[in-house]
Structure formats: structure tokens, C-alpha cells
A = this chain, B = another copy of it.
Amino acid sequence: MKLRPGTPVSEISLAEEFGVSRTPVREALQRLDKEKLVEIVPKSGTFVGRIPVSAVIEAIVARRALEVVIVRKAVERATPSQVLEFRARLERQREIARKNDLKTFHAEDEAFHAAFASVAGYPGIWEIIRTVKIQVDRYRQLTLPQEGRLDMVIREHKEIVDALESGDADRAVKSMEVHLDKLQLDIEVFGQTWPDYFIHDREIEGQ
């Protein structure tokens, strides 16, 4: 994890680093504040955002619900060429997994899911998912990557693509649910291990 939650990030130091004034830095930080990636405390300082535990839980729930809708629509609209593109993606994932390149694999995984949203004609819904996913990804960066996880993910992806190709919407939805349910890890326990990195419901003010 590059920047530990709670680490101060002052506007002026960022401005100097990027060679610009405080104004554009401020605007960028305000956007990040809204996405809960930083916490701006008036007259005090700006800090790398702690991960709101409840947000992670809700993000997983929300993502699941939205991806189910996406995959159902994708089955309805997918063309044969698009199905073949998914096959290509699966093969690419296998190649990346062989090299054990986690960073690239994560990017390709995200592209895989984004592709379903694109096929479904729901780019806006993917945008929502991408937003809530950020906190989940941040959380997952703290967990150790499990042995054989990549191959498991690819098998689940393949099952979804198989269902897509067969045109079986219910099966595709079921596969997607199975795939996404793997994200439900023991967050509460984890939040107690690195308490400073997380923020619990009670601490959240306003809004």
C-alpha cells in the first residue's frame, strides 16, 4: 500500500511536487475527498482517507446487485464477435496468471467486468461500480494474495463466458453471483487488526 491511511498530504507540498499552484491541487483534492480517498479537515489538514468499513461492505453488496443486472442484459445483447472477444480475454488472463503478474491481472480483471457493462450498454452503471470498487480494492491490497486465487478467478470467469455463449441468462447471473460472493471476506476481524487504517461507522460525521 503506497500511502498509508491517515498520512497527511498538504496542498502546498503537492503543489510544489507537481510544479503548480495550490488552486488546481485543491480542486483535485476536493474530488478525492468526495470519493472518500482523502479526508479534508478544515483549518487542520488533509489526510489519506481511512477505509470506511461499512462502505466496503455496502460496496460489495451494491456491486453484486449492479453486476447481476449488467450480466443479464449482456446475455441478451451479446453478439458472436463479442463472445469471441471474451474468449480472447480469458486466454489473456491465463497468460498473465502464468507470469504471476498480479498488477496486470487486476487491470485485466477490471477490464473483463467493464466489458460486460459495455456489451450491456450500461457504461454509467459501470462508472458507479468503479467508484464504489475503489474502497474495496484499497481494502484488498491489505490482504495477502491467496495461493491459486488467480486460477480460481479465471475458472469463474470462464463459467460466466460459457453461460453468456449459451445464452442462458439465469446461469450467467448465477455464475456472476458465485464469482462476486468470493469477495465477502472477514472484514470486521481485519478492521481490528489495523484499526488506524479503517474508520468505523460511529466516527463518520456529517453528510
Contacts and interface: CB of A to CB of B under 8 A. Distances in A.
Each complex incorporates copies of this chain amounting to 2
Interface string A52-73: 0011001101101110110000
A82 B143 CA distance: 38
Contacts of A128: 62, 128, 132
A123 B61 CA distance: 12
A65 B58 contact: no
A59 B123 CA distance: 11
Contacts of A64: 69
Interface string A20-43: 000000110011001000000000
A132 to B, nearest CB: 7
A192 to B, nearest CB: 19
Contacts of A65: 65-66, 68-69
A124 interface: yes
A125 interface: yes
A124 B26 CA distance: 25
Nearest to A62: B125
A122 B34 contact: no
Nearest to A207: B127
Contacts of A61: 69, 122, 125
A62 B54 contact: no
A54 B121 CA distance: 9
Interface of A: 26-27, 30-31, 34, 54-55, 58-59, 61-62, 64-66, 68-69, 122-125, 128, 132
Given A30-B30, A65-B66, 9 more contacts: A30-B31, A31-B34, A58-B124, A61-B125, A62-B69, A62-B125, A62-B128, A64-B69, A124-B132
12 contacts: A30-B30, A30-B31, A54-B123, A58-B122, A58-B123, A58-B125, A61-B69, A61-B125, A62-B69, A62-B125, A65-B65, A66-B66
